[in-house]
Structure 1
Amino acid sequence: MNVEEIVDIRISAGQQQAFEEAVHRGVTTVIGQAKGFMGYSLQHSIESPERYLLTICWKTLEDHTVGFRESELFPQWRAIVGPFFAQPPVIEHFVRA
């Protein structure tokens, strides 16, 4: 069963291009090394320019919650994207119905 981690992110105004570049760099250089990582997508809101939805696909929930979040990779990822956050992101996990 594949799991989708959906991250609702609000960033500081005027940082869209730099944030998008940081996400791509962080996924390709850090998250891409994590066991169970299967891909990602980033969506940008039309109505709310500082809002993004980041979807990261994992083989299992534990690949994200234990394998990635408890590894040395997580602080590396947050160091790349965290400075852009205007508030803590909201994260939920989904499976296809």
Structure 2
Amino acid sequence: MKGIRQNDLEAAMLNVKNGMEKDFEEAFIQASKTISSMGGYISHQLQRCLEAPGKYLLLVQWSDLESHTVGFRQSVEYQEWKRLLHHFYDPFPIVEHFEQVSL
């Protein structure tokens, strides 16, 4: 729609090490408080895969790309996010950004 800014969507497939799923989900609750406090943050959701144990999809809505790539990734809060979550991943996730297609 003309005149309405579309939000940017961050998407990451997270592969959590075998047997660490429960600990990851508990740590993610705490990490959620960190990301939701950031400027430009709109919302997020974590989805658990039904077919593959340990596989999760993280979707984060940002007001714009820079709110994630600069505002969050270069912040002190990101260091806390890393401390809480990065040791669970194998391999480390690829993060991509998307915008809605007007149909």
Normalized against structure 1, the TM-score is what?
0.93
Which residue identity is paired with 2:31? G
How many angstroms apart in 2 are the aligned matches of 1:69 and 1:32?
Answer: 13
Distance (whole Å) between structure 2 residues aligned to residue 5 and residue 24 of structure 1: 18
- Aligned residues with identical type, % of pairs: 33
**Structure 2: distance between partners of 1:62 and 1:18:** 30
Shift in Å, 1:6: 0.3
**1:23 alignment counterpart:** 28
Report whether the alignment pairs 1:55 with 2:56: no
**Residue aligned with 1:33, SS:** coil
Unaligned runs of 5+ in 2: 1-5
Deviations 1:38-73 (A, max 9, x none): 111011111111111001110000000011111111
Aligned residues between the structures: 96
Post-superposition, which runs of at least 4 consecutive aligned residues in structure 1 deviate over 3 A? none
Paired residue type of 1:17: K
1:90 and 1:48 map into 2 onto residues whose CA distance is 18
**Which residue pairs with 1:41 in the alignment?**
45
TM-score by structure 2 length? 0.88
